[in-house]
Structure 1
């Protein structure tokens, strides 16, 4: 999906503050970083409760949400470069005379005209939002009919897919197996339904899940768990309480290809038994030579990092900006070293990976013009 789906699927109030208030956690709408409610987080030798810490995260990592939104591409924000710049200056509470001098505009009356145009745009946006709310919600009966139609589409689409087609779709989107990571969520509806059918098999029948538990399971498949969760509900694979406190798998036949418990366990074990290698790799920008180092207990997760960058939710802001600027073809992923693990005895994976990271940071010095790390 284009743009940041997590952000666009949020409410206006959540979008204004930059994070969503889930049942057990706060989730950054920009990068997907989450913090658990009830946990105290340290920052710069000060302890913060979760929500305050999330606000600090957004401020320190992304700047203000206002800045982030006004910096969005015109195709997403609907604002021209000129309008975005004006809004930033208005946000700084500058006078018309100051803005005129800052932008080199002929007269203050031109600035006043721009203010009028933006207010008109605001009024139009309000009307459009109301229309969309009425269209989306309607009466309770209409809303249920919409959900039923989506679910009916899912059922009919499943019946249209042959076994051979399904195998090809699964192989394309789950290259490491159905319990491995999902390659993408931008796909045709028929493919999406097959993918959702595999994802719902990660949940147990007759079990109630909290939103946090659903998120954790879906995170293993794809970074944008919010969109996956919404699809599972919309396409009738799962249901939930109105307040989002409990989720469950809907009780109907997912098709003759559905997995029984024994088959689920077999596939899970097969995925776990796939040999994984820990190590360090670099994401290198071939245009400017800058690199970003990543240590991981499983080098096969490189594909997941590519997905995060493609969807605009990668944790390193500088790298994400260059990825957006130069495009994915300007970057290569290169394994630098595989971590040797002893066959027997105690092995502190986390500590060894940290040593490996320090070794390569010292060797490559990926700071400033040479990389995306902060010194």
Structure 2
């Protein structure tokens, strides 16, 4: 899942988040560190260009955003089709012909989309100002942010800082070193456990499967199940052949 809370509109459009010259793919979380050189197709590129080439491998950016934000966007199939046609650069008359409607209907829908975008920008500003008071919240009120790779954000992620701490105390023998007592079947507890385990991995680093296994063995005996859950819940990503893993975000 794309972390829309932390990303700017520019990052969502480009597919890249930049910080201090380091670029992170917003779709899969792969990091391209500043100062490194990356081999691609027999040539070598700096972090920015390598990141841009990587983002292109994910396909159409509009499709990526619509799929990742399907629930939040609440677009009907007809609206999705219209947005794709708008993005294609077709004239209103050509779009109308394809859809079997009048050009005025297409123009009206474009107007509706524009007004919706204006309202979204206004709400973002209002919410930003409302959030300025968050420093006064207690641990009972402050919610943890879902991790960047979350596949589906729902009630499982409604976890306060206080709940998080209580769960950690109950399911782990110790936090330093990290040693799991029991892997709960309850979804909220599972999220807390995986979040803590994922923190043992470094962002921007690529791990072999054996390296992942060694880290997980020290935490819980059933390392294969833990590895599967980390990938399934979007905390780790991996190459198609399973040869390498990296932390999302």
Instruction: Say whether 1:90 aligns with 2:86.
Output: yes
> What aligned pairs does 1:33-52 form with structure 2 within 5 A after superposition?
33-52=30-49
Cα deviation 1:251-304 (Å, max 9, x = unaligned)? xxxxxxxxxxxxxxxxx9x828x99xxxxxxxxxxxxxxxxxxxxxxx934532
Q: CA deviation at 1:135?
A: 0.9
* Alignment partner, residue 70 of structure 1: 66
Match of 2:103 in 1: 108
Per the alignment, do residues 12 and 85 of structure 1 end up closer, same or farther by CA in structure 2, a change over 3 Å counting?
Answer: same
Query: Superposition RMSD on alpha carbons, in Å?
Result: 4.5
Which residue of structure 2 lines up, in the alignment, with residue 187 of structure 1? 188
Once the two structures are TM-superposed, the CA of residue 147 in structure 1 deviates from its matched residue by: 7.2
Is 2:226 the partner of 1:307?
Answer: no
SS of aligned partner of 1:58: helix
Partner residue of 2:129 out of 134, 138, 159: 134
2-structure distance, mates of 1:216, 1:29: 13
Structure 1: tracts of 5 or more residues without a match: 203-212, 220-267, 276-298, 320-352, 354-375
1:87/1:46 Cα in 2 relative to 1: closer, same or farther (>3 Å)?
same
- Aligned counterparts of 2:43 and 2:75: Cα–Cα separation in 1: 39
Do residues 20 (structure 1) and 22 (structure 2) align? no
Q: Is the 8 A contact 1:70 1:88 kept in 2?
A: no
TM-score by length of structure 2 reads: 0.64
**CA shift in 2, pair 1:24/1:271, >3 Å:** farther
Q: Judge which range, 301-310 or 117-126, deviates more.
A: 301-310
Distance 1:31 1:124, change over 3 A: same
Tell me if structure 1 keeps the 8 A contact 2:142–2:161: yes
1:12 Cα offset (Å) = 2.4
Q: Distance in 2 between matches of 1:147 and 1:81?
A: 42
What is the deviation of 1:36? Answer: 1.5
Within a 5 Å distance, the mapping from 1:168-207 to structure 2 comes to 168-170=170-172, 178=178, 187=188, 192=192
Of structures 1 and 2, the larger Rg is shown by 1
Instruction: Please report how far the alpha carbon of residue 53 of structure 1 lies from its aligned counterpart in structure 2 after TM superposition.
Output: 0.8
CA separation of 1:302 and 1:25: change in aligned 2, threshold 3 A: farther
Aligned length: 213
Change (3 A) 1:35 1:66: same
User: CA separation of 1:52/1:120 partners in 2, compared to 1, >3 Å: closer, same or farther?
Assistant: same
How far the C-alpha of 1:186 sits from its partner, in A, is: 6.0
Greater CA drift, 26-35 or 303-312? 303-312
| Greater length-normalized contact order (CA 8 Å, ≥ 6 residues apart) | 2
**In the alignment, which of 7, 12, 36 is matched to residue 10 of structure 1?**
7
1:6: how far off?
3.5
Where structure 2 has 5 or more consecutive residues not aligned to the other structure, the ranges are: 144-159, 208-214, 244-249
Give the match's secondary structure for 1:39.
coil
Q: Which stretch has the larger CA shift, 14-23 or 91-100? A: 14-23
Whether the 8 Å contact between 1:71 and 1:84 is mirrored in structure 2 is no
